[in-house]
Structure 1
Amino acid sequence: MNEGFRQTGEGRTEEEGRPPKLLDQLRTALRVRRYSLRTEDAYVDWVKRFILFSGTRHPSALGAVDVGAFLNHLAVDRRVSGSTQNQAKSALLFLYRELLGVELPWLSEVVQAKRPPRLPVVLTPGEVRILLDQLEGTMGLVVQVLYGTGMRLMEGLRLRVKDVEFERREITIRDGKGGKDRVTMLPDRLVAPLRAHLERVRVLHERDLAEGFGEVFLPDALADKFKAAPRSWGWQWVFPSNLRSVDPRSGLTRRHHLQPESVQKAVRLAARAGELVKPVTPHVLRHSFATHLLAGGHDIRTVQELLGHKDVATTMIYTHVLNRGGRGVASPLDGL
């Protein structure tokens, strides 16, 4: 999952005879190991913050005290979440182990921030209808796909035309979380609007080809192995961007898929317009998908497979919906 486009990007080349800077080396090391562009940006940002926090000293001159002070600063002063603190720790682990070649046992022993268990935010079917009523066009279709299939946001945005199977009513999700593929359903209600959407996308693709563009990012050097694949219809994004942009890694001008921030903003505005009081994000639709399937009588193993969870214990968090408040125990107040 290492595709990615940005409108702008910092330079990647150095002048003749000058060694690459630390952050450029870090980017190269991440790309060689096939980290995603989002992870690359996040790790580079954390290393920048660490260096600035430490008085702009080179990380090779820093030690356990400095790293511990930085992580403590994030937890105590910045009060970041456990997941954010752990991401910063992972970035520094990568920096020292993979780039600087320094094995620092003390860093791996730094206490992992605990993420307290939280019940997921789940919309009722009525609230989902209200949300969908506030959306239209491509954004409305994206949100329906997310709720109707249980996909994560990036899984939905990375869909390729070839992975939508209308006859079997299936969608194949490639290289999902953990690098795994899986199959989920294609709701009957989405067949007609999705077909119409793809017809419009095909017109857009043909126009790109006529203008000398039309290539799409392919993973794992497939573009070198299959020369015609980047311009073929089957490999195009189901939800392409309205604008072409420059790939910061290759420098090629291509049409990327929709940006996740655009979908997140559309969902947030739709929730506000629908006067929903719950915090609503695209991922809440995935929680709602799983919860509504379980409430409808589907077994948890089926839901686990559709969600792509490695362990059924992860899926078990959605079973709270099967318990009427207080695990089904009647309140003494109701007995008065």
Structure 2
Amino acid sequence: MPLKLVKRPKSPNWIMRGTVRGQSIEETTGTSDKEAAEAIRIQREKELLDESVYGKKATVTFAEAALDYIEHGDGETRFLKPLADHFGTMPLRNIGQHEIDLAAKKLLPKASNATRNRQVYTPMSAILRHAAGNQWCAVPNLKRPKQPEGKVTWMSPKEADKLIDACAPHLRPLVVFMIYTGARAGEAVWLDWSNVNLDMKQVTFPKTKNGKPRSVPLHPRVIMELRRSNRRLGAVFLTHKCVPYERPDPNKDADTSAGSRISSAFKTACKRAGLGWTVPGKDDKPRFVTNITPHVCRHTWATWHYQANRDLTKLQELGGWKTLAMVMRYAHTNVETHSDSINALPWGKSGETENMDVENPTNIGLTA
């Protein structure tokens, strides 16, 4: 018996009821408009027929796949809403490289390739891979826009001390915390005392970028800074006005503005510490520029951790990175620490020469 539109006594909306190829269905159309309900009934009946003949793969929509990913996936979801609004009920079988490229350009027309990768290609790949795991589509093989290799900027211990000493009183404990825990700006700025245990010397970040909570041991320098506060309830870090930092808009999952909450005070500290340079600004007035940002505190912590421990797996776990490949860049920034292994290479006869000046290799004194 094909689907028919019926009414329930206490519902204003039309209901679809019937049997399609042995499958009993009773679903609401979500509308009281009979003409609209009839269009929905026809579409739904076709989906059920296609599914019964060709399998689920033929009918699953992006909206269904995204919802299932949210309910059962373990990745971040903050960039999904614009994608769900764009693709909506488009069947997964109709979404390929071309459609995703067009979506990236439409949703982020002025954005860099790095931003398009982060906000479009990465979440799309995650959803499609999740759907492929359910056998709703083929495993995606997306080509991403090319972007320049990111340079890891980090501070030496001497530079970090200069920055800490130059911080305003309200900013100092926050900067120390970020440098010695590797916390992202949002994890630190909106940290609550309920997630800090000074006795156990541990902090827990319940909501992280990759969707999984993580805990990090507290360095003695952090404990010393935190113990200076008499408060043990509410926000750990406060503004210069002694109030918690403004929270992100709960209706905007993509709000990543934590760094902007402290950017002005942070840049001022960098200027006081001499961690930057001046360039001509408007009316030739000098303008201070620095490549040290709040996120550099995380890079600094990761670089120091690798220098001290040489343990990429532990660094990945403590820092909350999804893959080991994302952590490898901190090993690449530390090549100078491998100098002993290079110096240990055998010299041999190939290195014999007269009047060798080790301190000045260009002064070798070769004879013709």
Q: Which amino acid aligns with 1:136?
A: A
Deviation at 1:190, TM superposition (A): 2.7
Larger relative contact order, structure 1 or 2 (CA cutoff 8 Å, min sep 6): 1
Question: Contact (CA 8 Å) 1:74, 1:80: kept in 2 or not?
Answer: no
RMSD of the alignment, in Å?
5.0
Task: Quote how far apart the aligned CAs of 1:289 are.
Answer: 0.9
Could you give the per-residue CA deviations for residues 113-169 of structure 1, whole angstroms, max 9, x where no partner exists? Answer: 234433411111111112112212222211110001111111112322122111221
Per the alignment, residue 319 of structure 1 pairs with 331
The 3 A distance-change label for structure 1 pair 59 and 134 is: farther
TM-score, normalising length from structure 2? 0.52
| C-alpha displacement of 1:92 | 8.4
Provide the C-alpha distance between the structure 2 equivalents of 1:247 and 1:151, rounded to a whole number of angstroms. 17
Which letter does structure 2 place at the counterpart of 1:150? G
User: What letter is aligned with 1:165?
Assistant: N
Equivalent-residue separation in structure 2 for 1:47 and 1:245 (angstroms): 28
- Counterpart of 2:350? none
The two structures have a TM-score, normalised by structure 1, of: 0.56
Q: Residues 120-159 of structure 1 correspond to what in structure 2 (within 5 A)? A: 120-159=152-191
Q: Distance in 1 between matches of 2:147 and 2:248?
A: 35
Give the superposition deviation at 1:298.
Answer: 5.2
Letter of the 1:292 partner, please give it: W
Structure 2 counterpart of 1:238: 236
- Alpha-carbon offset, residue 245 of structure 1: 7.2
Cα displacement string for residues 25-44 of structure 1 (whole angstroms, at most 9, x for unaligned residues): 9xxx8xx8799xx976x666
Return the alpha-carbon distance in structure 2 between the equivalents of residues 245 and 290 of structure 1.
27
Distance 1:70 1:267 in 2: 36
Measure the CA separation in 1 of the matches of 2:245 and 2:316: 37
Whole-angstrom distance in 2 between the partners of 1:291 and 1:274: 21
Aligned partners of 2:310 and 2:247: how far apart in 1? 44
Work out the number of aligned pairs and report it.
Answer: 259
Answer yes or no: is the 8 Å Cα contact 2:206–2:214 preserved in 1: yes
Which runs of structure 1 show a deviation greater than 6 angstroms over 4 or more consecutive aligned residues?
32-35, 42-48, 63-67, 90-94, 243-247, 325-330
1:172 alignment counterpart = 204
Specify the SS of the correspondent of 2:155: coil
Letter of the 1:300 counterpart:
L
Q: Please say which structure displays the higher CA radius of gyration.
A: 2
Higher strand share: 2
Change (3 A) 1:335 1:160: same
